[in-house]
Chains A and B, each alone.
Chain A
Amino acid sequence: MTLLSIDNLAIEFAGPSGPVRVVDGISLSLGEGETLGIVGESGSGKSVTSLSVMRLLPEDQAAIVQGDIRLRGQSLVRLSEAEMRKVRGNRIAMIFQEPMTALNPVFKIGRQLTEAIRQHSRKSKREARKEAIELLGHVGIPLPEQIVNVYPHQLSGGMRQRVMIAMAMACDPELLIADEPTTALDVTIQAQILDLMRKLQRERGTAMLLITHDLGVVAETCDRVSVMYAGQIVEQGDVKTVFREPKHPYTAGLLKSVPQFTGEGKELHSIAGQVPHPSEFPAGCRFASRCPSRMDVCEKVDPAAYDFGDGHRCKCHLYGGRETNAGLA
């Protein structure tokens, strides 16, 4: 059953010269217990998308202007703030990128955890504390009875991210959104954190929306992947299929720029240019200016999404063109 579905979602930010559309018509769905990766460069709109699911976009600056986000069929966009509060931390929980700053520096770990527990249950302080200690033990924190009494700055980045995970798991959410959960961590710690998230996910059957720019992380953790570019999803599908046969030139470029240990001192591949600023998105394909397979049509017409079967879709004129040619012959 579909747990989360995002339908033709558009998000606008207030800009100095009128609203700027940073997320433009994205659609995706996530089944129970499934893991979906959203990959993209910074500025592609992936974090904004994840925040919009939590309805935590900065209120006075950004707004959902089109489309819907549904959790088990129920529209989150239409929920009142009070109803939404019952969803946040309870049915959908979130882990952020910076474990160094995501915890309140002046409160002890235990207090921050019990707050998450008690927000959505009627547990006593003592029960919540006991549960907090259990949770900490569960996320692999040694001596949890002592860790509840320390402040965030006394823990390492990896430990803090474990605390964040414990906090997110406190109310056993149906959906966990992880926004670059390992980006700020050392490589060895990254692997531990990913393993932990996968373990918890398996045990509890939590679905996960993993936002990352790291294709390696996607390959290791996700069932399906959506590749975002300049506020749009350019390709999505099963991780294995997309990685083996990338259809979109952007996806192909991203995969090529992953460093490989081939032994030869080859120069790394890179995609020339930068993601355009949302206020300067072109009328045609947004990747056109950086695309190695650019055609005339790309600059003028926004490509449609083409289906390759099994939910593998790609938004590119390369495939539309073929069909048109076939039609002509």
Chain B
Amino acid sequence: MLSYALRRIGLMVPSIIGIIVITFILTRVLPGDPALMITGEQALPEFVDKVRQQYGFDQPLLVQLWEYVKQLARGDLGFAWHTGHSVASDFVTRFPATLELTLAGMALALIVAVPLGILAATKQNSIFDHIARVLSFFGSAMPIFWLGLLLISLFYAKLGWLPAPVGRISGGINPPTHVTGLYVVDSLLSWDMIALKDSLLHLLMPAFCLSMGTMAIVTKMIRASMLEVIRQDFMRTARAKGLSRTAVIYKHGLINALIPTLTVVGLQFGYLLGGAVITETIFVWPGVGNYVTESILSADYAPIQAMTLISAVLYGVVNLLVELLYGVLDPRVRYE
């Protein structure tokens, strides 16, 4: 399995090279003159030219690409002038926010989707089945920005149940002592109940928004694969042993139904780790998605390229982990 994992990591290299080249080209075709963005609209043309030379924006694209590759090879992700920090340090400060949001969203999605999918499959055409159908329809059809605004206007503006949808914690409350960077975990570790409550309340709406898509897909997947599994011969064998219908479904059926679902969950997780741009923007969540938006708006090449690269690598790694997990869940899958 180890050699398989290493081989798979090796296979990621060509895709990473492709990603480096493509993001490089795509950022260059973005509208906006980066030198002008750095200096500001009112700057003297001589000064703008100087900045252009200094950053190498006047060089031919191939030369710029070569410089970029050399820089990456040194382990340097570049400098984000719009924040005034290196991209790496920006990433380190922002990634925990995205990770916390993603984990919360995924957890919420799975907590709802797995039982709902099972109930929808085992009690076909029951109320659960209808709920599952409506949920997967709305979950995949509803635009996140609209859902987000709806939630804000209801729970914050109208009912006032939730704090202002800005960031991870209210302004007046100190963030918990930094350990993992996940506020919920850190406030638990430092037993800071005020921070815990506040960060949980802040997490609720964005996590819900983020969970909708995954919830919809996973419910559908679990329902479909459970329906498939229920018809299998081994389920009948288990019933013939004298097991109850429920025991058969949860002991013998669930694990078999989870195997195909795992792929979808993995893909979603990897995808969301790259930063949920819309959700993070609506809730002013200081994560990677927000960072990418800012960078694009400021035509800041280095962070755009670096974040795309990081998302791609994360996606690849999560996919690999899912594949290896497959081998753990399904004994028929063995990696030589």
Contacts and interface: CB of A to CB of B under 8 A. Distances in A.
Interface stretch (B31-39, B196-204, B241-249): B241-249
Contacts of A88: 239-242
A54 B236 CA distance: 11
Given A96-B233, A106-B255, A89 B332 contact: no
B330 interface: yes
Nearest to A85: B242
Interface in B251-303: 252, 255-256, 259
B242 A153 contact: no
A167 B252 contact: no
Contacts of A108: 331
Interface in A94-108: 94, 96, 98, 101-108
Interface string A91-124: 0011010100111111110000001100110000
Given A151-B331, A153-B331, A153-B332, A102 B234 contact: yes
B234 A104 contact: yes
A167 B256 CA distance: 21
Contact of A96 (B236, B244, B255): B236
B230 to A, nearest CB: 10
A89 B240 contact: yes
A167 B238 CA distance: 10
B261 to A, nearest CB: 14
B244 to A, nearest CB: 6
B237 interface: yes
A259 to B, nearest CB: 29
B329 interface: yes
Contacts of A277: none
Contacts of A93: 240
B241 A167 contact: yes
Main SS of chain A's interface residues? loop
Given A98-B233, A106-B330, A119 B240 contact: no
A105 B241 contact: no
B325 to A, nearest CB: 13
Given A90-B242, A119-B243, A120-B242, A103 B234 contact: yes
Contacts of B234: 101-105
Nearest to B239: A56
Nearest to A115: B241
A164 B241 CA distance: 11
Given A101-B234, A104-B256, A106-B255, A85 B243 contact: yes
A119 B242 contact: yes
A56 B331 contact: no
Nearest to A99: B233
A167 B237 CA distance: 10
B242 A105 contact: no
Contacts of A87: 242
A86 interface: yes
A105 B240 contact: no
A109 to B, nearest CB: 11
Contacts of B232: 101
Interface centre among A104, A115, A120, A153 (most CB of B within 10 A): A104
Contacts of A85: 242-244
Nearest to B243: A119
Interface in A128-154: 151, 153
B227 to A, nearest CB: 13
A214 to B, nearest CB: 20
Contacts of B244: 81, 85
Contacts of A54: 240
A102 B329 contact: no
Given A85-B244, A106-B256, A164 B332 contact: no
A104 B330 CA distance: 11
A105 B243 contact: no
Contacts of B233: 96, 98, 101-102
Given A96-B236, A106-B330, A89 B252 contact: no
Nearest to A170: B241
Nearest to A153: B332
B10 to A, nearest CB: 29
A119 B237 CA distance: 13
Contacts of A94: 240
Nearest to B234: A104
15 contacts: A54-B240, A56-B240, A101-B234, A102-B234, A103-B237, A104-B234, A104-B238, A104-B252, A105-B234, A105-B256, A105-B331, A106-B255, A106-B330, A106-B331, A115-B241
Closest 5 CB pairs of A and B: A89-B242, A89-B241, A101-B233, A88-B242, A151-B331
Interface of B: 124, 232-234, 236-245, 252, 255-256, 259, 329-332
